[in-house]
C-alpha cells in the first residue's frame, strides 16, 4: 500500500475561503478533459507537498469539474480538507470516492480520519475494518484499527458507568493531604490561598519546564471546580469607564506565546482584566502549563480573569489532539478525568457591559435565539452534536448572507444577515468569537459586527500566522494588537496526540 499522503507520481488559509456557495459544475468527460484534469491534479499535488493546502483544494476542484468520475481527485481533495480542518467537506469527498470505487482503500482511510476528527469513532472503525479486509497483514492498518477499537470500547465502558461518575466525580475522591511533598521539591508551595507571588513563581517554574507538585496541582483543581460549578452559563462582565478589558482567543497549549501576551499587555490584575475565549489546550505540547496558569489567575482574580469553554475543552478532542495524553504523561489518568469534569463546568459565553457577546464558535441554525435561551442551556455535560450548545462552540461566519452546512461537519456557517438579526433582537453592538486561524490574528467581518480573535501565533509551528488580542475601552471600541510567535523548548506540537492522527 502506498504511503504518500496523496495519490500521484505527490497554506493553510482562512477556512471561510473554503465555504461552498454553490455546487461544483461538472462538464462532460472527454479524452481532452481527462488530460487537462490530470494537469490540475499534478499541480495540486505539488501545492499539497508545499503545504499550500487551499491552493491545492482549488486545483483538485478544477480537476473534478473536468472529470468527476475519478475517485483519486476526491480522495486527494479530502486529504487537503483534512489538513485545513474542514472535516465535513473531507468526509463528503471521501464518501464520494468510495461511491466511485468501493475498493479504493485510501478513501476509506480518509473517511475514517474525518469521522475520528468529528468524534464518530464507531463509523471510523467500520472504515478501518474495510481496509483490514483488503490488507489484513498491513501493520499500519492493524495499528489504526486497534487504536480506534480501544477508543470505542472505552467509550462504551464510560457510558456504562456514566450514572456513577455523574453522581460522584473523580475529584471528590482526592485527598490532597495524601500527596507528600518531597524534600527535593524546590517549586512554589500553596498552603493557603493563591497569591500574586505564588503565580509569579509558578510562571517561572513552568518557563523552566518544571512541573507544579501534584499536591498543589490537585488543590488548584479542587478549588477551581467549586468556582466554575457556581458560575453562570453566560457570565456578565463589567469594567470601569476609564479602564481597558483584554480579549484573547485560542492559545492551544502554546505556553511561551501566552507569556508573551502577558509581557506585551501586562499580567492579569484587577486593573488589567482578561477574558480567554476557549481552546486553551490541545495541539501545543505545553497545555498543562497553560491551563494551570489560567486556573491560578482565575482563583487569584475571580472577578477580573475570565475563561469560556471552547470546542477543545471536550473529552473527544482532548483524547485526539494531545491534552489527555499530556496530562497522563505529566501527572496521571485520574487527573485527566478531573479536567474533563472541570471543563464541563466552564461558562459558554460572556456578556460585556450588556452590549458585546463573546463565545468561542458562533451563532445558530435558527433565528429568534435570545440571551435567555443561551443562559438556560444545560452546560454540565459533553456537547451534543447539534443544538445551541454545539453551535456556540463550533459555528463559523461566512461572508455571504444566509446559512450553509459547516465545513467542519459540526455547527453551521452563518452570514451577515444572521448576525444582524441576532444583534438587533438582543440589543447588542457586536459579537466576538475565536475558533479560526487568521493571518493577522484577527478578522473583522459582517460590517464590523462579527470579530474573530485568534491568539496562537505560528499555529502548530507551521502556519506562519500572527496572534492577536483585543483591548476594549469604555466606549467598547476594539483595538487590535498583533504579534509574532516566540521561541519555545524543542518539544513539537502534537507530541502527546493520539497515534490515529498520524493519518492526517
Considering the domain architecture, whether residues 184 and 242 belong to the same structural domain is answered as yes
Give the predicted TM-score (pTM) of the model.
0.87
Considering the domain architecture, whether residues 97 and 229 belong to the same structural domain is answered as no
User: What is the structure's pLDDT at 13?
Assistant: 36
Listed in order, strand segments (DSSP E) in 202-243 are: 234-237
User: What is the structure's pLDDT at 154?
Assistant: 76
Average the pLDDT over 139-157 and give the result.
82
138 part of a folded domain:
yes
10 part of a folded domain:
no
Considering the domain architecture, whether residues 260 and 154 belong to the same structural domain is answered as no
Q: Which of 387, 355, 384 is nearest to 371 (CA)?
A: 355
Pairing of strands 450-453, 442-445: antiparallel
User: What is the structure's pLDDT at 145?
Assistant: 86
Spatial neighbors of 31 by CB under 8 A, at least 6 apart, are none
Considering the domain architecture, whether residues 76 and 176 belong to the same structural domain is answered as no
Confidence of residue 412 (pLDDT cuts 50, 70, 90): very high
Catalytic residue, candidates 213, 252, 304, 312: 312
Considering the domain architecture, whether residues 423 and 334 belong to the same structural domain is answered as yes
Average the pLDDT over 105-129 and give the result.
89
Assess whether pLDDT exceeds 80 at residue 334: yes
Q: Residue 432 to residues 345, 356, 435, 443: CA-CA distances in angstroms?
A: 21, 7, 11, 10
CATH code of 136's domain: 1.25.40.10
> CA 1, CA 256: separation in Å to the nearest integer?
40
> CA 165, CA 167: separation in Å to the nearest integer?
6
State the angle between helix axes of 196-207 and 255-265 in degrees (0 to 180), rounded to the nearest 10: 130
Q: Which domain holds residue 317?
A: 171-189+209-503
User: In this structure, are residues 287 and 323 in contact, taking their beta carbons and an 8 Å threshold?
Assistant: yes
37 part of a folded domain:
yes
Over the stretch 343-358, which tens digit does the pLDDT of each residue have?
Answer: 999 999 999 999 999 9
Question: Measured over all CA atoms, what is the biggest interatomic distance in the chain, rounded to whole angstroms?
Answer: 78
Over the stretch 46-85, which tens digit does the pLDDT of each residue have?
Answer: 999 988 898 999 999 999 999 999 999 999 999 999 988 8
CATH code of 322's domain: 3.60.21.10
Considering the domain architecture, whether residues 235 and 135 belong to the same structural domain is answered as no
Considering the domain architecture, whether residues 55 and 111 belong to the same structural domain is answered as yes
343 part of a folded domain:
yes
Count of the separate structural domains present in the chain: 2
Give the count of beta carbons closer than 10 Å to the beta carbon of residue 425.
Answer: 13
pLDDT > 70: what percent of the chain? 91
Q: How far from chain centre, in Å, is Cα 316? A: 11
Judge whether 435 counts as a catalytic residue. no
6 part of a folded domain:
no
User: What is the structure's pLDDT at 1?
Assistant: 35
484 part of a folded domain:
yes
Domain boundary among 139, 160, 181: 160
User: What is the structure's pLDDT at 130?
Assistant: 86
Considering the domain architecture, whether residues 221 and 361 belong to the same structural domain is answered as yes
> CA 250, CA 315: separation in Å to the nearest integer?
17
Spatial neighbors of 221 by CB under 8 A, at least 6 apart, are 171, 174, 295, 335, 338, 339, 342
> What is the DSSP code (8-state) at residue 383?
P
7-11, 360-364, 417-421, 474-478 — which is least confidently predicted? Answer: 7-11
- The set of cell numbers assigned to 3 is 504511503
5 part of a folded domain:
no
Over the chain, what is the mean pLDDT?
91
Considering the domain architecture, whether residues 98 and 178 belong to the same structural domain is answered as no
Average the pLDDT over 361-374 and give the result.
97
Considering the domain architecture, whether residues 464 and 326 belong to the same structural domain is answered as yes
Considering the domain architecture, whether residues 296 and 375 belong to the same structural domain is answered as yes
4 part of a folded domain:
no
Considering the domain architecture, whether residues 98 and 181 belong to the same structural domain is answered as no
> CA 302, CA 50: separation in Å to the nearest integer?
46
Amino acid at each position: 500500500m502506498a504511503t504518500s499522503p496523496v495519490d500521484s507520481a505527490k497554506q493553510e488559509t482562512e477556512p471561510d475561503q473554503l465555504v461552498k456557495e454553490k455546487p461544483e459544475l461538472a462538464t462532460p468527460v472527454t479524452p481532452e478533459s481527462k488530460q487537462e484534469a490530470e494537469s490540475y491534479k499534478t499541480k495540486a499535488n505539488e501545492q499539497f507537498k508545499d503545504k499550500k493546502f487551499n491552493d491545492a483544494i482549488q486545483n483538485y476542484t478544477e480537476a473534478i469539474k473536468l472529470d468527476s468520475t475519478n475517485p483519486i481527485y476526491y480522495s486527494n481533495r479530502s486529504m487537503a480538507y483534512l489538513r485545513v480542518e474542514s472535516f465535513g467537506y473531507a468526509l463528503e469527498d471521501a464518501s464520494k470516492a468510495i461511491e466511485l470505487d468501493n475498493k479504493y482503500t485510501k478513501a476509506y482511510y480518509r473517511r475514517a480520519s474525518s469521522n475520528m476528527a468529528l468524534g464518530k469513532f464507531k463509523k471510523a472503525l467500520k472504515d478501518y475494518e474495510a481496509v483490514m479486509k483488503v490488507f489484513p497483514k498491513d501493520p499500519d492498518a492493524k495499528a489504526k484499527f486497534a487504536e480506534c477499537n480501544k477508543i470505542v470500547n472505552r467509550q462504551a465502558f464510560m457510558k456504562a458507568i456514566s450514572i456513577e461518575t455523574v453522581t460522584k466525580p473523580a475529584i471528590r475522591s482526592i485527598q490532597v493531604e495524601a500527596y507528600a511533598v518531597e524534600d527535593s521539591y524546590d517549586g512554589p508551595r500553596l498552603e493557603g490561598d493563591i497569591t500574586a507571588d505564588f503565580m509569579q513563581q509558578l510562571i517561572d517554574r513552568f518557563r523552566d519546564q518544571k512541573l507544579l507538585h501534584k499536591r498543589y496541582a490537585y488543590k488548584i483543581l479542587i478549588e477551581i471546580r467549586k468556582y466554575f460549578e457556581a458560575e453562570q452559563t453566560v457570565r456578565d462582565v463589567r469594567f470601569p469607564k476609564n479602564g481597558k478589558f483584554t480579549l484573547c482567543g485560542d492559545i492551544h497549549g502554546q505556553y511561551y506565546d501566552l507569556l508573551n501576551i502577558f509581557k506585551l499587555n501586562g499580567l492579569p490584575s484587577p486593573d488589567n482584566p482578561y477574558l480567554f475565549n476557549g481552546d486553551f489546550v490541545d495541539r501545543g505540547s505545553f497545555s498543562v502549563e497553560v491551563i494551570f496558569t489560567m486556573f491560578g489567575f482565575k482563583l487569584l482574580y475571580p472577578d477580573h480573569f475570565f475563561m469560556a469553554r471552547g470546542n477543545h475543552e471536550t473529552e473527544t478532542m482532548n483524547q485526539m489532539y494531545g491534552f489527555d495524553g499530556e496530562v497522563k504523561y505529566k501527572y496521571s489518568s485520574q487527573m485527566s478525568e478531573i479536567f474533563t469534569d472541570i471543563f464541563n463546568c466552564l461558562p459558554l459565553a460572556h456578556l460585556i457591559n450588556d452590549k458585546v457577546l463573546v463565545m468561542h464558535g458562533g451563532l445558530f441554525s435558527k433565528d429568534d435565539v435570545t440571551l435567555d435561551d443561551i443562559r438556560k442551556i444545560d452546560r454540565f455535560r459533553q456537547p451534543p452534536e447539534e443544538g445551541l450548545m454545539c453551535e456556540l462552540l463550533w459555528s463559523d461566519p461566512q461572508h455571504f448572507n444566509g446559512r450553509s452546512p459547516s465545513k467542519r461537519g459540526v455547527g453551521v456557517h452563518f452570514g451577515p444577515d444572521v448576525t444582524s438579526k441576532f444583534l438587533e433582537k438582543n440589543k447588542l453592538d457586536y459579537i466576538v468569537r475565536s475558533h479560526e486561524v487568521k493571518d493577522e490574528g484577527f478578522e473583522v467581518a459582517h460590517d464590523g459586527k462579527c470579530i474573530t480573535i485568534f491568539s496562537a501565533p505560528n499555529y502548530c509551528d507551521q502556519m506562519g500566522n500572527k496572534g492577536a488580542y483585543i483591548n476594549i475601552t469604555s466606549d467598547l471600541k476594539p483595538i487590535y494588537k498583533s504579534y509574532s510567535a516566540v521561541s519555545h523548548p524543542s518539544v513539537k506540537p502534537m507530541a502527546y496526540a493520539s497515534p490515529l492522527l498520524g493519518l492526517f
